[in-house]
Amino acid sequence: MSGNYDIGLMGLAVMGQNLVLNMVDHGYKVAVFNRTTSKVDEFMAMSECKSKGDNIVGTHSLKELVAQLKRPRLVMLMIQSKDAVPAPDIALYPKIAAIDAVIEELIPLLEPGDVIIDGGNTHYLDTERRTKFIEDKGLLFIGTGVSGGEEGARKGPSIMPGGTEKAWELVKPIFQAISAKVGPKNDISCCEWVGARGAGHYVKMIHNGIEYGDMQLICEAYWLLKHALGYSNEQIQKTFADWNKGELDSYLIDITKDIFTVKDKATAQYLVDLILDTAGAKGTGKWMSQLALDLGTPSSLVTEAVYARCISAMKDERVRASKVLKGVSSNAKLPADFVEQIRKALYASKICSYAQGYVQMQAAAKEYDWKLNFGDIAMLWRGGCIIRAVFLDRIKEAFDADANLENLLLNPYFQNVVESAQGAWRNVVKTAIDFGIAVPAFSTALSYYDSYRSAVLPANLLQAQRDYFGAHTYHRIDKPGEGPFHTDWINERQ
């Protein structure tokens, strides 16, 4: 038996609900289900839902959901990616992920050619594994990143699908219809096929890691405006508003500008000043950083951004330390154009952050044999998602000009921006040091730039140390192609 609904969606929390409404707005008929079935009834009773008539049907079991669908069936899961549930064989597997439990239940209800879609923030290795597992059952699998939060899901998210390539043609019309659109004619979809198996979720993870870097850089700029320049919230708001008109034009700068306009009704104080300075994280930034270490690619901005959240969370300890450890009081004179210097430092650092993210994706693509199109990826992020920004057009142009570009910093546009920003960038980092203001993201970006542009680094000494204590050997610049060499450093001492 088959029904006449185009797609089924399980998971009626904020993302699922909004995606359903978005799909219906684009002419698709959607069947919905949620583990806690009362939420299905609550959703169906919402006026926005009722206004869609029979384009949405509520169901109370996976079996009912599947029965409502056209063949081949498309079942999308928008459920918590991390939650673990008791496994059927408790002795062997004490816990399995919620998504695996749902997939196990779904498989017997489906037929060859049907598609399971995971739209959650899943670790790419789980998606690699699930693609194979589901394909072995004769079904197709899509593991897709979806970015843009509640508003994106409702009005047009950025969608980054990977998995079974054969499934792409089946989900493409719906995904491209509901995704954000960009370009002069608003006809470039922020949804394209990313690559096999876990590629979509890997790219979504890089998106989130870059988001961490962008947010940290903006916070450091804010802190310099506030504590080096002594700016009021009104001045900070105006500065971000100005920055949003130029190269830094982006969603995150835009919302930051808005944040500095909001006052708490009860106290009439700016709300931002009343918010406790301890940041949380859901883990995708940490994944990117861990995986960069595994690949040996230096994604230092996301790592510093994760650490910045970790140290922010040590609030009580920081308060105790602040009473013991003294900083410096600076009377350094700031240049008249210091605000513009911060802007340039922010843009140059942001470019380094994206350069690192792209290098990590290139290394991962090689490792996992994914055929990633890096220009297309920039366009996936151009609209709908949290890191959407005008400058992504420049990244697209850079990869269009050279699909094998080793590093964004080597593209003439980015090279020119970073080179011409570097006087300001160096002064901003020096000033922060003078004032005792922590700028881990600005400074790691500059160190990355200085390391990357150095033909020679002090790793010669490092190799000598390793050879001294561990006989790890080394190669010689005067004997290329020979070696490795080892020296008995103790007996050679003079």
CB under 8 Å to 485, separation ≥6 — which residues? Answer: 473, 474, 475, 476, 479
Which stretch, 134-142, 146-154, 213-221, 367-375, contacts ligand NAP (CB under 6 A)?
146-154
Cβ(442)–Cβ(388) below 8 Å: no
Cβ(167)–Cβ(115) below 8 Å: yes
Catalytic residue among 39, 204, 286, 396: 204
Tell me the closest approach of the beta carbon of residue 243 to ligand NAP, in angstroms: 25
DSSP state of 159: E
DSSP state of 37: T
Distance CA 384, CA 387 (A): 9
Going by their DSSP bridges, the two strands 74-77 and 7-10 should be labelled as parallel
35 binds ligand NAP (CB under 6 A): yes
255 binds ligand NAP (CB under 6 A): no
151 binds ligand NAP (CB under 6 A): no
Tell me the closest approach of the beta carbon of residue 276 to ligand NAP, in angstroms: 21
14 binds ligand NAP (CB under 6 A): yes
Cβ(324)–Cβ(317) below 8 Å: no
207 binds ligand NAP (CB under 6 A): no
36 binds ligand NAP (CB under 6 A): yes
By beta-carbon proximity to ligand NAP, the closer residue of 34 and 68 is: 34
By beta-carbon proximity to ligand NAP, the closer residue of 141 and 442 is: 141
Structure tokens at 21: 């409404």
Residue of minimal Cβ distance to ligand NAP: 120
3-state DSSP assignment of residue 62: helix
Phi, psi of 61 (to 5 degrees): -160, 160
Tell me the closest approach of the beta carbon of residue 122 to ligand NAP, in angstroms: 7
Site pattern 87..126 for ligand NAP (x: CB under 6 A): -----------x---x-----------------xx-----
Dump strand ranges (E) for 365-419: none
The helix-helix angle for 338-368 and 412-435 (nearest 10°) equals 120
Quickly tell me which residue has 């013991």 as its tokens.
324
Tell me the closest approach of the beta carbon of residue 118 to ligand NAP, in angstroms: 8
Q: Which of 12, 110, 377, 424 binds ligand NAP (CB under 6 A)?
A: 12
Quickly tell me which residue has 């029965």 as its tokens.
67
Cβ(235)–Cβ(225) below 8 Å: yes
By beta-carbon proximity to ligand NAP, the closer residue of 12 and 348 is: 12
Tell me the closest approach of the beta carbon of residue 387 to ligand NAP, in angstroms: 13
> Binders of ligand NAP: how many residues, by CB under 6 A?
23
Tell me the closest approach of the beta carbon of residue 237 to ligand NAP, in angstroms: 25
Catalytic residue among 192, 211, 220, 304: 211
By beta-carbon proximity to ligand NAP, the closer residue of 309 and 394 is: 309
Distance CA 414, CA 348 (A): 8
Distance CA 39, CA 307 (A): 37
Which stretch, 35-43, 57-65, 304-312, 365-373, contacts ligand NAP (CB under 6 A)?
35-43
| Residue 471 CB neighbours (<10 A) | 11
Phi, psi of 124 (to 5 degrees): -60, -25
For the question of residue 406 being annotated catalytic, the response is: no
Quickly tell me which residue has 């850089």 as its tokens.
217
Q: Which of 45, 85, 314, 457 binds ligand NAP (CB under 6 A)?
A: 85
| Residue 85 CB neighbours (<10 A) | 13
By beta-carbon proximity to ligand NAP, the closer residue of 96 and 295 is: 96
DSSP-assigned beta bridge partners for residue 195:
162
Q: What residues from 277 to 336 belong to the interface with ligand NAP (CB under 6 A)?
A: none
Q: How many helices (H) and strands (E) does the chain have?
A: 21, 12
20 binds ligand NAP (CB under 6 A): no
Distances (CA, A) of 260 to 5, 149, 240, 270, 309: 45, 21, 9, 7, 21
16 binds ligand NAP (CB under 6 A): yes
| Residue 427 CB neighbours (<10 A) | 18
> What is the maximal distance between C-alpha atoms in the chain?
89
Distance CA 110, CA 79 (A): 19
Tell me the closest approach of the beta carbon of residue 39 to ligand NAP, in angstroms: 5
Which stretch, 28-36, 170-178, 358-366, 402-410, contacts ligand NAP (CB under 6 A)?
28-36
Tell me the closest approach of the beta carbon of residue 379 to ligand NAP, in angstroms: 19
For the question of residue 172 being annotated catalytic, the response is: no
Q: Which of 6, 7, 8, 11 binds ligand NAP (CB under 6 A)?
A: 11
Distance CA 476, CA 479 (A): 5
Site pattern 53..82 for ligand NAP (x: CB under 6 A): -------------------------xxxx-
By beta-carbon proximity to ligand NAP, the closer residue of 98 and 405 is: 98
Tell me the closest approach of the beta carbon of residue 33 to ligand NAP, in angstroms: 9
By beta-carbon proximity to ligand NAP, the closer residue of 35 and 466 is: 35
By beta-carbon proximity to ligand NAP, the closer residue of 204 and 309 is: 204
Tell me the closest approach of the beta carbon of residue 20 to ligand NAP, in angstroms: 11
Residues contributing to the site for ligand NAP (CB under 6 A): 11-16, 34-36, 39, 78-81, 83, 85, 98, 102, 120-121, 146-147, 149
Q: Which are the catalytic amino acids?
A: 204, 211
